[in-house]
Amino acid sequence: MIDVQGLIKDFGTTRAVDGVTFSVRAGEIMGLLGPNGSGKTTIMRVLTGFFPPSDGRVTIDGLDVEEHSLAVRERIGYLPENVVLYPDLSVRRFLTFCAEVKGIPARTRRARIDEVMVACGLTEVAGKLIGKLSKGYRQRVGIAQAVIHRPQVLVLDEPTVGLDPRQIVEIRTLIKSLGGSTTILLSTHILPEVSMTCERVMIIDYGRIIAEDTAEGLTRRLQGSHETRARIAGPREAVLRTLQALPGLEDVREEPASDGVVAVVVRSSQGDEARRALAEEVVGNGWGLLEVRPLPMTLEDLFVRLVRSERESGT
């Protein structure tokens, strides 16, 4: 459905996207994961026809985004990043405008708007001005405008950014419910998000794809976390000295804790083995082991690891 071949986008002398190639099958949910400024938004803007690629070929449903710009835009629903909608229009007025512009026939327009408002949970704010809505509701209006014409392809740029946890769950459920019938490309810089919503994940950095994996594959990679957080009740000096001397621990970092308790984050490539050794050592010394918890891998960790493995495979 989405096919991108050797996409390059330059802004002046800066290369924002550097030779990206990927494709998304019909009905698939693909995640685009990368830190801010990695080129996610630029790729999405090219897909949605906001600006053309500097080089490469992008097709949606077999149509070139540059040559058949209008036809492509009819097939796409797009939620831009930090979506700010027209603050002085009411929700219903704005969605009516979207429906008209996106060519929904007058006969079915009202019914379709009501349907979308129910699906996105907007019915109770239909008459309110968009500018007066909370961030969560605005985001839902943004999704409503993207899906109103039942697009074949949905492009969502950071759909859950700035929402509270409950709203995030709601939005994720909404996105998942659309999968299957709609091809979805969504971007995020939050790691757990992709494994929860996407079937396939692409990781990009500095405008290049550095890894592509299924959601399960990525989750598996994430479980082997290197960092463990431990809280130990014991004499500070002795605890730190013992841990630093422990074989297999590469780094011991102390964190603030209450009196009589030492909190540390230890780094080790041995994972569970290191945690076992640490626990035995602490218990053996007669100290209290209050907490041993593997820390979830952060996006930074994953990046460090991916970039390292890429380099190793390169040499």
Q: Can you give the binding site for other proteins, defined by CB under 8 A?
A: 9-11, 45, 48-52, 54, 70-71, 73-74, 76, 78, 80, 82-89, 93-94, 97-98, 100-103, 129, 145
Which residue number, 102 or 112, has a Cβ lying nearer to other proteins?
A: 102
Q: Which is nearer to other proteins, 120 or 232 (CB)?
A: 120
State which residue, 6 or 51, has the beta carbon closest to other proteins. 51
Residue 25 beta carbon to other proteins: minimum distance, rounded to whole angstroms: 23
CB of 149 to other proteins, least distance (A): 9
Tell me the closest approach of the beta carbon of residue 10 to other proteins, in angstroms: 7
- Minimum distance of other proteins from residue 282's CB (angstroms): 53
DSSP for the chain reads: -EEEEEEEEEETTEEEEEEEEEEE-TT-EEEEE--TTSSHHHHHHHHTTSS--SEEEEEETTEETTTTHHHHHHHEEEE-TT----TTSBHHHHHHHHHHHTT--HHHHHHHHHHHHHHTT-GGGTTSBGGGS-HHHHHHHHHHHHHTT--SEEEEESTTTT--HHHHHHHHHHHHHHBTTBEEEEEES-HHHHHHH-SEEEEEETTEEEEEEEHHHHHHHHHS--EEEEEEES-HHHHHHHHHHSTT--EEEEE---TTEEEEEEE-TTTHHHHHHHHHHHHHTT-EEEEEEEPPPPHHHHHHHHHHHHHHHH-
| Minimum separation from the CB atom of position 30 to other proteins (A) | 19
Residue placing its CB nearer to other proteins in the complex, 102 or 231: 102
Q: Choose between 103 and 256: whose C-beta lies nearer to other proteins.
A: 103
